[in-house]
Amino acid sequence: MAGESATRFIKQRRWIFPAFCFVLCMAAGLAGWLKGRGEKGIVLQPKKDNAVGAVVGYSQKNPEWAEDKLGDSPYKMAGSGCLTSCIASALSSQQEATGIGKKVTAGELNHFFSQKEVYNEQGDLVWSRLEEAMPEITVLVASSVKQTEIESLLAKGYYPIVKVKVGGHGAFHWVMLAGSRDGEYICMDPLKENGELVSLKTHGNMVYRMRCVYWN
């Protein structure tokens, strides 16, 4: 009887760890679902063409910085550096067009952000910290996505950064709007090699948040 009890106990223990892992995975999935549930996007369709100039694009997967971490977080540029890459592209593209400010690569900007503790422990960019770290730039954190505001920013030569879902239905991702033509917004996509320009249609034309960063 003692031997049978021991055998049953060992068999039960074999199920404990897999069951625990399953519960953790379910909890993580639920947390992610709850976090994204409140995200409501709008479909963007340009009403006029906005010239697409010479854009300085950056890929988050560039080997020069792909393995660099975002601050003290465990996340790296290759997987989570889309927003930083977009900011670097927006500032560098503005400098290219106007001569205002200076060019900065995605890797250089990530290094600066990490030094200045612009990221939190989860590798998320804290906008108030960015403003403190770079007083020479203006940071616009829009409370909602408005196409009229996006059109106005593009007309002024600024580059709105918008949150989309990869392919229109995948993970959240940031791209930089560079202009519009032929009834489509054109964006710099950090997932593409060298930040290749693609149509926003690639991500379903659905935008969930908007930010804009530019030199004063």
Kindly report, residue by residue over 131-166, the tens digit of the pLDDT: 999 999 999 999 999 999 999 999 999 999 999 999
79 in Cβ contact with 213 (< 8 Å): no
pLDDT at 22: 43
pLDDT under 50 in the chain at which residues? 9-10, 16-37
* DSSP 8-state symbol, 138: E
pLDDT at 7: 52
85 in Cβ contact with 60 (< 8 Å): yes
Instruction: Give the Cβ contact number of residue 60 at 10 Å.
Output: 28
Buried b (16+ CB within 10 A) or exposed e, 5-17: eeeeeeeeeeeee
Q: What pTM was estimated for this model as a whole? A: 0.82
What one-letter code names the amino acid at 142? A
